[in-house]
Amino acid sequence: MPDKIQLTIDNRPIEAEPGTTVLDAALAADLYIPHLCHHPDLDPVGVCRLCMVEVEGGRPAIACRTPVAQDMVIRTTGPQIDQIRRVSVELLIVNHRDDCLSCAQNNSCELQRIATYVGVDQQRLDRLRRTPAQRDVDTSNPFFDLDHSKCVLCGICVRTCGDLQGVSAIDFNYRGFDTKVGTFGDRAITESVCESCGECVVRCPVGALAPKDYVQPTREVKTVCTYCGVGCGMHMGVRGDRVVNVRGDRDNPANRGSLCVKGRFGYSFIHHPERLTGPLIRKDGELVEADWDEALDLIADRFAQHKGETFAAMTSAKCTNEENYLIQKLSRVVMGTNNVDHCARL
């Protein structure tokens, strides 16, 4: 292992792995440097310019693209840096819809956080805000909306879709002031190759990509997705006794925070009034509710009638390894057949 790099950020000695950037080293040491286009899952592109720092000697540099070097001395604030940052933030804000209080991202918006950090001048903002930044909202996706008037063009969604998901449903459309994130041919998202995984939505640092009907959870429950055999880890957001959202568990080795459309958005069945919560038995051609004792007695009777080759067991990827093991054991030892199959093989 190469030796660690020693550097100083804001008079604080820091140790960093070789190859990391100044921004990563600062964040790892709990030192905040404003950043909008940086995401730890993506390669840095350095487009927002908000992570500007001063390298000793007064040279400004973008922290997200500057690798750490031995004995480097960094200052994250200073008259020149502060001025660059403030102007950059103000130019973003004047083109951004100002409905923060009703925005799904309120209080967890990076732009809001940076504006508070740099201390923008409200009077200057009012002067700069000449034309109302009203742009269309793409509401075609059943799970999330894309509000162009809140987009800061950081490109995190575009890079997530292309570099991480390999789908490339969205990119930058048009040029200059008209630039916006959109689909090929600027069609509705549902007319693109978007798979609705929502990976762009969870990474959006502002409220441009936001889940529909967002409800703030009051607590989270760590669990495992029930949809398939991958076993993705997730945190279910709960408010009262209802699940109101889902986010991936970044510590789970199966998915490292990623989820598919079903895992992320397909939880409405939990509270669906037609959800099956008990066994049904067919009587005179009709399915009628039964209790578990009655249902299990019926199953045992039928099993007794169908020992041997007339019996087959079909198991599921949703079961645990142990449950699948027990089913094959029951089939072979009790039912006397090797007719065992599994939905994941089909």
Binding site for ligand FES (CB under 6 A): 35-38, 46-51, 62, 64
Structure tokens belonging to residue 47: 């487009």
The least distance separating ligand FES from the CB of residue 92, rounded to whole angstroms, comes to 11
Among residues 153 and 225, whose Cβ is nearest to ligand FES? 153
The least distance separating ligand FES from the CB of residue 216, rounded to whole angstroms, comes to 27
Structure tokens belonging to residue 24: 């990563």
CA pair distance 180, 294, nearest whole angstrom: 61
Residue with tokens 């093989």: 345
CA pair distance 44, 66, nearest whole angstrom: 10
Among residues 23 and 260, whose Cβ is nearest to ligand FES? 23
Among residues 162 and 279, whose Cβ is nearest to ligand FES? 162
Contact 54, 75 (CB under 8 A): yes
E strands present in the chain: 5-9, 12-16, 52-55, 59-62, 72-75, 137-138, 144-147, 170-173, 180-183, 209-211, 219-224, 233-239, 242-248, 280-283, 286-289, 313-315, 340-342
The least distance separating ligand FES from the CB of residue 52, rounded to whole angstroms, comes to 8
CA pair distance 44, 63, nearest whole angstrom: 10
Closest listed residue to residue 327, CA positions, set 163, 206, 343: 343
CA pair distance 298, 293, nearest whole angstrom: 9
The least distance separating ligand FES from the CB of residue 62, rounded to whole angstroms, comes to 5
The least distance separating ligand FES from the CB of residue 34, rounded to whole angstroms, comes to 8
Among residues 62 and 206, whose Cβ is nearest to ligand FES? 62
Among residues 48 and 181, whose Cβ is nearest to ligand FES? 48
The least distance separating ligand FES from the CB of residue 39, rounded to whole angstroms, comes to 9
Among residues 50 and 151, whose Cβ is nearest to ligand FES? 50
